[in-house]
Structure 1
Amino acid sequence: MAGTNSKAKMITGGPAIILVEPQLGENIGTAARAMANFGLSELRVVNPRDGWPSEKAKNASAKADHVIDNAQIFDTVEEALSGLNLVYATTARPRDMFVSVSGPEAAMKNAREHVASGQNCGILFGRERTGLTNEEVALADEIVTFPVNPAFASLNIAQAVLLMSYEWMRTGNEAEPLQFEALTAPQARKEDLIGFFQHLEGALEAANFFRPPEKKAHMVSTLRALFQKARYSERDVTILRGVVGALEGRRTRNTPRRQAAEAQIADAKTDEPE
């Protein structure tokens, strides 16, 4: 089914769609087509196998040129999460992780709330055959699963993107506009959280915390998922990094980051009731 109205205003914006290591340009193109149908326009692609730009992607996008032409390409998932405050990871497999799980409708209603408050959201989609790794899922705030047939859960990338994009559009087209309370503080950007994770993990490595060594990857994923649950603000992350730095014994380094962390901690103490 096809049809366009050249006089209608193009709806854009919404959460960033992040495709992790897609194999075929056609899959990127059909995902872009699904996005454009339901008003999403920011496409981020991590390490596409067949390179970029891709004529196959553009041909498969059914003239969703505003999505394809402005797609951003990244080498790693961490880089692709830059500037985002809230991230969802889509997966069909059960995960042994302490990460909240929700359906597409609830996830996109929550995303609307964050976007309405001026925050940036993203949705992670995994590889065609293997999906997302546990380490990648641990970078997200929540997991999104689809209510599919348990005996046949076989969505391709474009179908998964279509379902999330549809729910995004639907949450903005209710008979009564959705009302959201303003959030008190923006969530920390993903690059700030990742920096904190790396700082903490480096300190724990120096303290010989990861024992036995073969369980380190699982322990790191669990720790990251644990910290993701709290939805820290930028101020929170600054304080946490100051705490880790103090535990490392960095008492002689009077860096701007340390000064900011000490000031934040002092402010937090003065806020406490006597």
Structure 2
Amino acid sequence: MNWKILFRTGVLMILFFNISQGQNHRVYYQMTYKADSSNVETTKKNMVLLIKDNKSKFYSQEQLANDSLIIEKEKTGGKAQKKFDYSFMTIKDNQEKKLYKFTSLLRDFYKTSENAPSFNWKISNETKKIENYTCQKATLNYAGRLWEAWFTTDIALQDGPFIFNGLPGLIVYMKDSKNNYEFSFTGIKKDETTDINYLSSKPLEISKKQLDKVLLDHYNDPYREMKAGSIKVRWQDENGKEFTPDYKELTKTEQKAIKKNNNPIELSEAIKYP
């Protein structure tokens, strides 16, 4: 056995791994989903996966653009209007093996942390071309959904949309068996500028149990802050005349909407509203 050749091969593999890990990328996806699983209508949202060193951040392209504008304005002492499009945002810390999730509710912004999940992928021999990349099929049963994913080793990254990773390549397509969620790769480019840790607003760090209580409290009395006057709202009719709304009826309507739009990606994490 030629140990010198093996040693050189090993060094090259380690070097390639370090180079690929050190490269920073933006991976673009189109996300199609149903907020209400009983509805045939879907929503499309352009998302981006930022990959830098041992971290990655998945969130909306619109929020990325707004964050970038704010950062540039702050360099010159200027200001830009902030947006808060944090739906589906997650940060994966592969070194610490932690997963961070973010939730916006009215004026509040929350952050929860948990141990990174271990995905029990089943990799098949089936392959096909997606966006000129050779891809291989994998399936996953996780958190109440059965997923089909296609990953490629043509790109030296091992990550994917939302919380998903753990395959020997980049996930370029993914959907659940009921067609409630779909992630489609739309492009990739190198990125040496983005700060993954940047947030335009500082979140309140709470536990998952505390977040569930916050969401349940909001469901039980969604207009509490407006009725108390801590959030100022001017209610006007079509003629511009101010009036005091029937909060009881508004609450019923809002609760109905909350219960309908309760179809999270991790289905087993759905709040059980009364």
Q: Report the TM range for the smaller structure's normalisation.
A: under 0.3
Q: Higher strand fraction: Structure 1 or Structure 2?
A: 2
Q: Higher helix fraction: Structure 1 or Structure 2?
A: 1
Whose Rg is larger? 2
